A and B are shown apart, each in its own frame.
Chain A
Amino acid sequence: MLNPILANLLTEPVGVSHYVLVGAFMFTCGVLCMATKRNALGILMGIELVLNGANLNFIAFGSRYLRNDANTLGLDGQLISLFVIVLAAAEAAVALAIVLNFYNNNDSVDVDRADQLSG
């Protein structure tokens, strides 16, 4: 009973859908990470996961192994994901600087203590 399914999974090439699914999972993990972590660095990690999930989609849409028709993004997908990676690095730098500043001011990295702007 299990064999055909397992065999199909292993003998047939995967498609864009699978990549997108993995991307969706990582994305969801990232969002939840951002939503549940009180540690500012945890939130940053959530952001990294979110960006990574999105990146996976770009790569999947651009790959010729997954979907060989005229509608692939081609190199554009890879280029965009490159930009995402670079900008993510920049974002991480700024975010870390902010976290450091926050730590200096509050002696903590608990984001729940950053609620001075509440209405």
Chain B
Amino acid sequence: MDSIYWPSFFFWLFSGVACTFALGVLLSKNIVRMAFYLVISLASTSGLFFLAGADFVGAMQLMIYVGGTLVLLIFGVMLTSQDRFVEMRTSSGEWVIAFFIGLMLFFTLGRAAFGVAAWKGLDRETAEAVEVERTVTPLAMGLLGARVDQLDEPDAAKREGMSGYLFHFEIVSVHLLVVLIGAAYLARAKRKTGSVAANA
């Protein structure tokens, strides 16, 4: 028998935490706790990303997703801190139906996950021989339109198609801008003339 393969250990650790707290999100009725569980779940997922060698994406996950959830949390606190809104009960019949449907969904997806032979995982020697790969620069270049990781691609036709994601990057940037403006517009404070008059 071999010694412990530590990445596997951490995988089980992180995935266990992530799944547990995802379940916590599902089952908890307090919106603030849900947000807290969600943060932990997402942070653990970022650990899974680090384990899979996607360190930049992991850091992004920590920074953006967790930050985004932070805002969710704030809103949760702001909008639901009145007691009657902290817990909004769902009827138990719905819970039962949802549980069964969820079970079926999970079963189907899980069956798909183990349905492909090539997804079984590497043997240990191969896994240990995989070179550490730095991804930040290739990722950045990819976003700027140059796929430096594909220079070794033997098929010239394939290499032609791999022109990077500059265009998408630009679209997403503009999209973000539009969203910012749109969100600011949607959420702007409405002038309530009636209430002012009433106060006066």
- Chain A residues engaging chain B, CB cutoff 8 angstroms: 7, 9-33, 35-39, 41-42, 44-46, 48-49, 52, 55-56, 59-60, 62-69, 71, 74-75, 77-79, 81-83, 85-94, 96-101, 103-104, 108-110
Residues of A within 8 A of B118 (CB): 16, 67, 69, 71
How long is the Cα–Cα vector from A99 to B187 in the complex, in angstroms?
A: 9
Cβ-defined contact, B79 with A109, below 8 A: yes
A96 touches which of B19, B75, B121, B190 (Cβ 8 Å): B75
Listed A/B pairs (27) with beta-carbon separation below 8 Å:
A11-B3, A12-B121, A17-B119, A20-B112, A21-B114, A29-B25, A32-B26, A38-B88, A41-B75, A42-B34, A49-B41, A52-B65, A62-B52, A65-B127, A68-B127, A69-B118, A75-B147, A78-B139, A79-B139, A79-B142, A86-B64, A89-B68, A92-B68, A94-B179, A96-B71, A97-B183, A97-B185
Chain B: interface residue total (CB-CB under 8 A): 95
The A interface, classified by DSSP as helix, strand, loop or mixed, is helix
A28 touches which of B3, B102, B121 (Cβ 8 Å): B102
Rank and list the top 4 A-B pairs by shortest CB-CB distance, nearest first. A15-B121, A24-B109, A97-B186, A16-B119
Residues of B within 8 A of A71 (CB): 118
Interface residues of B in 1-60 (CB under 8 A from A): 1-5, 7-9, 11-12, 15, 18-19, 22-23, 25-26, 31, 34-35, 38, 41-42, 45, 48-49, 51-54, 56-57, 60
B38 touches which of A13, A14, A49, A96 (Cβ 8 Å): A49
B195 interface residue (CB < 8 Å to A): no
Q: How far is the CB of A107 from chain B (nearest CB, A)?
A: 9
Tell me how many residue pairs across A and B have CB atoms closer than 8 Å. Answer: 279
Q: How far is the CB of B18 from chain A (nearest CB, A)?
A: 7
B26 touches which of A36, A55, A69, A81 (Cβ 8 Å): A36
Other contacts beyond A62-B54, A67-B121, A98-B186: 6, CB < 8 A:
A13-B122, A25-B19, A49-B38, A59-B52, A82-B143, A92-B72
B160 interface residue (CB < 8 Å to A): no
How long is the Cα–Cα vector from A71 to B119 in the complex, in angstroms?
A: 11
Cβ-defined contact, B53 with A45, below 8 A: no
How long is the Cα–Cα vector from A96 to B35 in the complex, in angstroms?
A: 14
A12 touches which of B5, B76, B142 (Cβ 8 Å): B5
Residues of B within 8 A of A93 (CB): 179-180, 183
With A48-B42, A66-B122, A109-B79 known as contacts, the answer to whether A24 contacts B113 (CB < 8 A) is: yes
How long is the Cα–Cα vector from A60 to B9 in the complex, in angstroms?
A: 17
How long is the Cα–Cα vector from A75 to B180 in the complex, in angstroms?
A: 28
With A18-B121, A39-B80 known as contacts, the answer to whether A89 contacts B64 (CB < 8 A) is: yes
With A18-B15, A22-B19, A39-B31 known as contacts, the answer to whether A65 contacts B187 (CB < 8 A) is: no
